[in-house]
Structure formats: structure tokens, C-alpha cells
Structure 1
Amino acid sequence: MTLSPARVRILVAALLTVSFLGALDHTVVSTSLATIAGDLGALEHMSWIVVGYTLAATAMLPVLGKLGDIVGPRRVFLVSIVAFLVASLLCGFAPDLGWLIAARVLQGLGSAGIQLMSQTIIARVTSPRQRPRYMAIIGAAFPVAIVVGPVVGGLITDYWGWSWVFWINIPVGLVALALALIALPRLPGGAHPRFDIPGSVVFTGALLALVLAVTWIGDETLRPVALVCAVVAIIGILALVFIERRAIAPILPPRIFRNRTILACLGLSLIIGAGLFAVVAYVPTYVQMAYRTTATVSGLVPIATVLGMLVSNLLTGWLVSRSGRYRAYPIIGTALGAGGLGVMAALPVGAPLWVPMVVMAIVGIGTGSFMNLIFAVVQSAAARDDLGAVTATTNLVRQVGSAVGTAVIGGVVGFGVAANLPGGLDADTLTPAAVRSAPAGLQAEVAAVYHDVFGPVFLGLAIVYACGLVIALLLPAGRLSDETPAPLPTPSDVDRQPA
């Protein structure tokens, strides 16, 4: 299909706006959690405000991807925007935690549809050569949201009240919805019309069990439940293999796993989730404790990481769209990531703060060079009928990698710090402020403990990226074509001017 340049720009603006809203909701709410939970009288359960959203956004990815292939991504995208806006309205009016969690689940469903269908729509209306540039623009929403989300959430909560953290989505989302209705053409589905209900139910249940298992395994009181969830997940995965091999239109088509390019891209997506997304959550704690800084200063290191990711993401998208060649970027990116995290593991105690900032910026540059590029590559390797499914699977692998990586790193850090802290200090109640107010000698001991605990963590992540380098080397060489997708059967929705 060929759209006019003006129509493409309007469409990309709409997709970028709603993608930014979805990405921002992952970060903006975190700043307001304590205030929300305190107002609703549910401090002990406040984590479910985030967990409910994340579970819904992750578990529904394959289902939404398959729906997009069957009924067309336009319908799923528009319904997802409406669901996200309605849920945002309900979140702001929540009188209790149960209401808020239910609304957050609906918001998570809408966010998953928005993010996934944005990527699928780009694949349907652009040529493979054009996709890296547009994928990079839409993908920029995530790193920007990481930087501005906590600040925006804090300002809104302090000056307007926490309800506006959710309500601010509505006017922006309505503008994006209007732009999408103007610019988004009809995109009929082309997949088999039968939906794999048994596979969808089993897959969703197994994935929910898996995410809950890795989330709860670090909590001693919930560990028995986590083990039960792990068993349920294993049984569900085995049952899913049996069901999908016999399904007429499987939710995860086995043919996509027989394609070497797709498998390599899935492996690289896993590396990003387990390698970078997992560690970014713990870097501020490491900096506060090992470098004895304030929370504000500790944010400089993840900001440097994200800015490196943003710049390299946009630059790579532009370069690949010009040449069509993509294989070198994952190879260079994973090598930079492995090298940077290896340097982080070897940093001496007392190194200036600018050193980890520079090193983690290099890790961000490496990751950004293939973070969104792999979506364009994996879509070019898939059949048109599988675009939604393969895009969803790539997102899903990243999310699961992030969940597992975060749980593993959290467990290692928690155990290591508790086992090595000086006598008289309790890891459960130790705060950065308490450390900064302690005697200089004790501060140095705590800093050394965190340095020694995080060293093996960074080394392990460097090994993860080294595995990613091997996967990148196995990625088949190729060149993205200039062929536009097949035209739709409704010419009235298509502008014949070249993009």
C-alpha cells in the first residue's frame, strides 16, 4: 500500500502519541504509588497497581496479535485506544484498591493493543526499507518515557492530585484518536478466520503463572505459591505445545519458529529484556549505595543510558532505511553492551560518578542500535498473515526476559547484601539516607558491599550480551526491500502518491 507523505506523517504522529501514553503509564504511576496507596488505605497491596497492569499488558500480547491478523490491526488499535482512555477515566475515580486494580488491568490491555498494533500498522503501510525509520520514531516513546515519567508523575501528584496522573491521558489520547481516524486506512485481516480459543486460554494462563512465579519467588511468604505457579506454568507450556500442533489456526504459528531470521530476532529481543531492561531498575540503588549519592543524582546514570539508547535508536533507523542492510548493527550493539557491562563489573570502588555514566551510555548506545530494528527485520521475514503474531511474540519474549531478569537480579542483590552487611545493619530497613548519615567508616563498608554484590551481576549481564553477540552473528545477512505491501481491496482508502 502507498500513502501520501502527509498522510504518513499524520499517522506516525498519532501512533507516536498513543505509544508514548502507553509507555509513560509504565513509569509515571511509580512516583505516585505511595500517595495512591495511602489515600486508598492499601499500602501493603500497592504493588498490585503495577503488577495488574503489567500482567494484563504482557499476557494479552499473543491474543491481540492474532486478533490483529484476523480482523485487521485498525480495529484492534482503535478499540485499544478507547479501552485505554475509558480505563484512565475509571482509574482517576477509583474509590478503593479493588476498583483501581480492575481499571489498571483494563488499562494494561489497552496499552498492549496500542503498542503492538502501532508496530503492526507500520508493517502494513510501509515497505521493509522504510520500516526501520518509522519503528525508531515510534520506539523513541519508551526511552523518553523512562526519563520524563517519574518527573511528570511527581509534579502532577504534588500539584494536581494523583487522579490526574490517569486523567491527563484523556485529552492527549482523544487528539491521537482523531488523528488515527483521519490517517489510518482500512487494513483488513488476511489470516485464517478461526480463532484458537483453547490455545489462547492455555497460553494466557501459563504466562500469568510464569510471571507471578518470577515476581513472587523472592518473597519468603509467597515462595510456596510461586513454586505452585511455576509448576502450573510448566504444565501449561507442555499442554500448549500439544494444542498448537493440532490447531487449525494456532495463536503462535509453529512455522514462524522454523525461520532462522525470526529465531535470531527473538533471541536478540530476549537479550534486551534480560540484559538491559532488568538492570536499569537497580542501577539507581547501586549508585546511591556504592557512590553515596542522593536519589536525584543517582538518576543521572540511567538517564545517560536512556539518552544513549534514544540517539542510537534514531540513528540506526535512519541508516538502515537508507541502505537496507541491518546485520552489522546487532553485532556492533551486542558487542558494545557486553564490553560496557564488563567494564561496569571491573570498576574500582571510589571511581568518579561520570565513569559509570559514560559506560552505561555506551551500553545504551549498543542496545538502541538494534532495540527497534529487530521488529522491522522480523516483520520482513514473516508472511503478511503472521505480522501480528510475530510482532506480538517478539514483544512477549522481551517482556518475559525483563520479568525473569528483574527477579533474578533482585534475588541476587537481596541475598548478597543481607549476607555481607556489617553487624547491626538490617538489609530490610537500610535506606540510602540512613547510610549517608552514618559514620564515614560505615559508609565505606556499605559502599564496598554493594560494589562487591553488583560486580558479579554486571559480569553476568555482560555474559548475557556476549550470548547476544553469538545470536547476532547467526542472524542471516540480508537487505530490506523497497517493495510496498500488496494494495488493499478498497482503493478509496489508498492515496496513490508515493511515500
Structure 2
Amino acid sequence: MPLSPLRFRLLVASLLTVSFLGALDNTVVTTALATVAGQLGALEQMGWIVVGYTLASTVLLPVLGRLGDRIGPRAVFLASLAVFILASVGCGFARDFGWLIAARVVQGMSSAGLQLMSQTIVAKTTTPIQRPKYLAIIGAAFPIAILIGPVLGGLITDYWGWPWVFWVNVPVGLMALAFAIIAVPHLEPGEAERFDIAGSVALTIALVAVVLAVTWMGSRGPGSILALTAGILALVVFFVVELRTPAPIVPLRLFADRTIAAGTVVSAIVGVGLFSITAYLPTYFQMAYRTSATVSGLVPIATVFGMLVANLATGWLVSRTGHYRPYPIAGTAIGAAGLAVMALLPGGLPLWVPMTVMAVVGLGTGAFMSLIVAVVQSAAPTRDTGTITATVNLVRQVGSTVATAIIGALIGLGVAALLPGGLDAATLTPAVAHAAAPELQAQVAEIYHRVFAPIFAGLAVTYAIGVVAAALLPNRRLSDHPDPTMGGAVAVAVAVAVPEPEAA
């Protein structure tokens, strides 16, 4: 049955609501971490509240992508939303840390389904030229969640108690579920091929091992090396299986297409080049610029705001013209230039200077953040839409996780090596540094400048690699007609449901 214009608008509103719910859940929880872990008596294991969620959402991406292609994205989307609501209830009722981590793992698994199927459903209900605009709208949920999540999490924790950080998902989630049941259409699944169980198991083991290896990188003992060895072996097994199976969970044949190969590299730049450093920006500005915690938060806010503006603008522009190649080239070049400037900035400048530079980096990143997903989707066969969407997100997420751990280790080692006698890097907080004598404050600030400068330079090189990958994208125009392999019912639905961008 063709989608009416009203139903399509309901569909977009439903996907945006669910995407925002999934993105907000992660950012709201970060503010309450110390309170939650302290009340459950596991302060030393606090990081697992985030690691468990991230790990689960990462490893399930390829499995859910292939599952969506096989049984249809609507079923996976609705099931993920229902499980997410139940897991949120379980998190709030947690009475010990093991219970909470188990519920967070389930929540992370379902969150992967929400993120992935939202993008897949957009791809299957729009023409290629329309996807950038609607994926930009859906993608806006993430930067908005970063902007308001920590503040909202703090207010909920202070006035309602930490369980409501999770329970607040329930009424919103139930409303979104009712909305989605009405709005999300039935989309024909692909061929009923045998599911690639061996490839799924090998890839899951590889991803879990790699994430654990980088998570344990700074700790003593052989854990990190053993995990990395297991991850490499599992990856070898995975590639052998994928080359031999008739229906692989990650079709390696797709990467023979230049658009998909180059687009996947460009997508990874978002995670490796920007998401990885964002978490450390407040600490850098508190130490190097001697600001308060509140003021230091302005820099990531400016970065994310730039990302949000460029994300929406480029999605709208590409949906009007169909020409996409200039935006990832310009975006990666702007990001590289901005991070190079950050590496060269001298100490003692007003805070607005680096804040402006990082806003420019955000603008550059936003120019291709959601757009590149639409480009890669358009190059893949319709039967592999969920799979290729999962692969693009997987590369971005793994890149962010690995790069974040590496940057954290470099900061810790660099600061510890340069600190003068009498100061311990393990106990050096911004409060301790700000209470020290002015000469010592200046020395600590200079140390942080010296440690972060090569990190910014390295990230600038990462973006420069992105410029090369973006330049390799074919100079084509996104089609304004439905994919003929999409199927008759869906093709008619697209033509009726979605007005041309000029008439929207």
C-alpha cells in the first residue's frame, strides 16, 4: 500500500524520536556515572557502565544489519525498541553492579538496532537524492543529544534520583513505539539465505577482543596483549569464512566498488579524527588554559554545534542538486586545517580562539558525517542495504573506540613523563593544578600544550587521509528515481510519499 505524504512525515518524525532516544540515553548517563557506581558500591568499576553499553552496540551492528536484510528492517526496528524499553526498566531497578551491567549490555544491543534500522528504513523509503536530507535530520539527534544530555542527566540525578536517568526512557519509548507501529511500513525482506553464523561468531569475538585490548591498554599485566592476539586470530578466521560462504555477514565483494571503499574510509574519519578527541577537550582546556570545568565545556559544545549546522545544511543542499563529492572533500580538508591550527596554537590565547577553531573542525566534519552514509547506501545493492549501513557505522564506532583509548594512553604517558618532581600524574586534577603556585600552574599548562600538540597534528593527518579518500569518490550525481531493484510496492510508495526537495 503506497505511503501517503502524511504517513511519510509521521515516519520521519518517528525515526527522529527513536534516534534521539537512543543517542540521549548514552549522554544522559555519563553525568550520573559516579552517583550510580557509588551507590551500588562499585566506584572502581564505573567505566564498565559505558564500556558494556558501547561494546554491545558495536558487536551487534553487523549481525543486526544482515538480520534486517533477511527478515525486514521493520521487525528488527520494533523489536529493538521494545527491548530497549524493557532494558531501561531493568537498569533503573538494578540493586547490584552485575545486574546493572547486564541490563546495560542488553540496552546497548537494542540501541544498535535503533540506530542502524533508522538509517536502513530511510534508505528503503526514499530515492538516493532524497536520502541525504532525511539522514541529516535523523543524524541531528546525535549532536543535539551531546548538547543537552549531560545537563539533563545532572538535573534528573539531582532532583529525581539516578534510576530516573533510565526510567525516563520508558514513557518516551512507549510513545515512540506506538508511533512507529503506525508509521513504519512493511518493507519486503531479501532472499531467505542461510544466516552466516560462523562469520558472526568470528567477527563478534574479534570486535570484543579488540575493544577489550584497547580498554585495558593502560593497565598492567598481559590482558591487553592476550586480547589483541585473540582479536587478530579471530579476524583472520573471519576473513577466511567470509571469502568462502555464499551469504557472508559482511560481503567483502562490495568493497570492489570504489564508492563503497572510499566512502567507508571517509566515514571512519569521523570516529578516529573527531569523536576520539572530544572526550579529552574539557581536560585539555582546564589544564592548558586554566579554565573551570563549566567554561571548558564550551569548546565541545561549539564543536558539536558546528557539526549540527553543517550536517543539516549539506543534507539539504545535496538533496537539491544530487552532487555530493565536493562536500566530503571540502569537509575533510577543513577538518585537517582546523586540527593543524590547534596543533600550532601558542599558549596563553583567549579561550574564544581555540573554541572558534574547534567549531570550524565541527563544521568540516558535519559536512560529510551523515552524507557519506547516504552515498555508500546508494552504491550498494538494495538487498545489502542493512549490511552496508551496518559496516559504515561499525568502522566509525570501532575507529572511535580504538583511537580514544590510544589518545588516552598517550596523554597519560606524556604528562607523567614531563611532570616535575613532587607531582603525581595519577592524582593531578584540575583543582590541584589550579591551587598550585602560579609558576607551577604555568608549567603544567605548558606540559599539556606539549602533549596535546602532536595529538592534534596526528588527527590532522587522519583528516588529510580522508581528503584523499574523498577525492577518490566518483564524480556522480545521486539519482532522483527509486532503485529499480527495490521492488514494485516500495517504489510506488517512494514516488507517492516523498515530495521532490524543491516542492517540499
Shorter-chain TM-score range: over 0.9
Q: Match for residue 31 of structure 2? A: 31
What is the alpha-carbon distance in structure 1 between the residues aligned to residue 192 and residue 481 of structure 2?
24
2:502 match = none
Out of 423, 441, 456, the position equivalent to 1:425 is 423
In the alignment, what sits opposite 2:496?
497
- String of CA shifts for 1:407-449, please: whole Å, max 9, x gaps: 1111111111001012101110011011111111111010000
For residues 424 and 237 of structure 1, the distance between their equivalents in structure 2, rounded to whole angstroms, comes to: 45
> What amino acid is aligned across from residue 387 of structure 2 in structure 1?
A
Q: Superposition pairs for residues 215-254 of structure 1, below 5 Å? A: 215-221=215-221, 224-254=222-252
2:433 corresponds to which residue? 435
Q: How many residues align?
A: 497
Q: Please give the alpha-carbon distance, in whole angstroms, between the structure 1 residues aligned to 2:86 and 2:52.
A: 17
Distance 1:49 1:412 in 2: 23
The farther-off stretch of 26-35 and 104-113 is 26-35
Other-structure match for 1:360 = 358
Q: Whole-Å Cα distance in 1 between the matches of residues 252 and 43 of structure 2?
A: 44
Deviation at 1:489?
6.4
Deviation of 1:246 (Å): 1.2
Aligned pairs (5 A) from 1:446-485: 446-485=444-483
1:268-283, aligned counterparts within 5 Å?
Answer: 268-283=266-281
Question: Which of 412, 415, 433 is residue 413 of structure 2 equivalent to?
Answer: 415
Alpha-carbon offset, residue 299 of structure 1: 0.4
Q: How does 1:75-154 map to 2 (within 5 A)?
A: 75-154=75-154
Q: Deviations over 1:376-398 (max 9, x none)?
A: 00000000111011000000000
Question: What does the per-residue CA deviation read over 1:320-375, in whole Å, with 9 as the maximum and x for residues that have no partner?
Answer: 00000000000000010000000000101101100001000000000000000011
The SS at the match of 1:497 is helix
- The root-mean-square deviation of aligned C-alpha atoms, in Å, is 1.5
Kindly state the Cα deviation for residue 194 of structure 1 after the two structures are TM-superposed: 1.2
Displacement of 1:193: 2.5
Alignment of 1:201 onto 2:201 = yes
Residues 191 and 386 of structure 1 are in contact (CA less than 8 Å); yes or no, is this contact kept in structure 2? no
One-letter amino acid of the counterpart of residue 235, structure 2: I
SS of equivalent to 1:248: coil
d(CA) in 1 for partners of 2:355, 2:319: 30
The TM-score, its normalising length taken from structure 1, stands at: 0.97
Alignment-mate amino acid for residue 167 of structure 2: W
Distance 1:201 1:443 in 2: 51
Whether contact under 8 Å (2:125, 2:493) holds in the other structure is no
Q: Is the 8 A contact 1:192 1:249 kept in 2?
A: no
For residue 83 of structure 2, give the secondary structure of its aligned residue in structure 1.
helix
Match of 1:19 in 2: 19
* Residue pair 1:4, 1:495 contacting (<8 A) in 2 also: no
Matches of 1:341 and 1:191, distance apart in 2: 46
Contact persistence 2:127–2:494 (CA under 8 A): no
Look up the match of 2:393.
395
Distance in 2 (alpha carbons) for counterparts of 1:75 and 1:415: 47
Q: Which residue of 2 aligns with 1:45?
A: 45
Deviation at 1:191, TM superposition (A): 3.6
Q: List gaps (5 residues or longer) in structure 1.
A: none
Deviation at 1:483, TM superposition (A): 1.0
Partner of 2:335: 337
CA apart distance, 1:143: 0.6
- Structure 1 residues 191 and 288 mapped into 2: Cα distance closer, same or farther (>3 Å)? farther
- Cα 1:315–1:490 change in 2 (3 A) is closer
* Residue 173, structure 1, aligned to residue 173, structure 2: yes
Alignment partner of 2:496: what SS?
coil
Matched, 1:371 2:389: no
Alignment CA distance shift 1:395-1:496 (3 Å): closer
Note the residue ranges of structure 2 that are not aligned, 5 or more in a row: 499-504
Amino acid at match of 1:497: V
Paired amino acid for 1:480: L
Does the aligned pair in 2 maintain the 1:337–1:363 contact within 8 Å? yes
Aligned to 1:299: 297
Segment drifting more, 358-367 vs 404-413: 404-413
Q: In the alignment, residue 247 of structure 1 is paired with which amino acid?
A: T
Instruction: Letter of the 2:215 partner, please give it.
Output: T
Letter in 2 for 1:418: A
Distance 1:60 1:498 in 2: 31
How many angstroms apart in 1 are the aligned matches of 2:214 and 2:5? 45
* Separation of aligned partners in 1, 2:424 and 2:71: 55
Query: Deviation of residue 218 (structure 1)?
Result: 1.6
| 1:185 is the counterpart of 2:218 | no
State the partner residue of 1:308: 306
Could you tell me which amino acid in structure 1 is paired with residue 445 of structure 2?
Answer: A
Which amino acid is the alignment partner of residue 68 of structure 2? G
Letter in 1 for 2:73: P
Instruction: Summarize deviations over 1:299-321 as a string: whole Å, max 9, x none.
Output: 00000000000000000000000
| SS at 2:291 equivalent | coil
- Give the secondary structure class of the aligned counterpart of 1:99: helix
Q: Distance in 2 between matches of 1:284 and 1:144?
A: 18
The two structures have a TM-score, normalised by structure 2, of 0.96
Q: Is the 8 A contact 1:187 1:488 kept in 2?
A: no
Contact 2:302 2:358 in 1 (8 A): yes
**Cα-to-partner distance string for 1:200-251 (whole Å, 9 max, x where unaligned):** 1111111100111111112224xx1111010011101111111111112110
- Residue type matched to 1:293 in 2? T
More divergent stretch after superposition (250-259 vs 386-395): 250-259
| Letter paired with 1:203 | L
Task: Encode CA deviations 1:160-187: one digit per residue, 9 max, x unaligned.
Answer: 0000000000111111111111111101
Preserved contact between residue 81 and residue 173 of structure 1 (Cα < 8 Å): yes
Take 1:230 and 1:175, find their aligned partners in 2: how far apart are those partners? 42
Q: Residues 129-167 of structure 1: CA distance to partner in whole angstroms, max 9, x if unpaired?
A: 110000000000111111111111110000000000000
Match of 1:346 in 2: 344
Task: Read off the aligned partner of 1:469 and give its amino acid letter.
Answer: V
Contact 2:347 2:446 survives alignment (8 Å): yes
Confirm or deny: 8 A CA contact 2:482 2:494 kept in the other structure. Answer: no
1:263 and 2:252 equivalent? no
SS at match of 1:63: helix
User: Once the two structures are superposed, what CA deviation does each residue of 1:96-122 show, in whole Å capped at 9, x if it has no partner?
Assistant: 011101100110011000000000000
Counterparts in 2 of 1:188 and 1:422: CA distance versus 1, 3 Å: same
**Distance between the aligned counterparts of 2:48 and 2:329, measured in 1?**
38
| C-alpha contact (below 8 Å) 1:132/1:318 kept by paired residues | yes
Deviation, structure 1 residue 81: 0.1
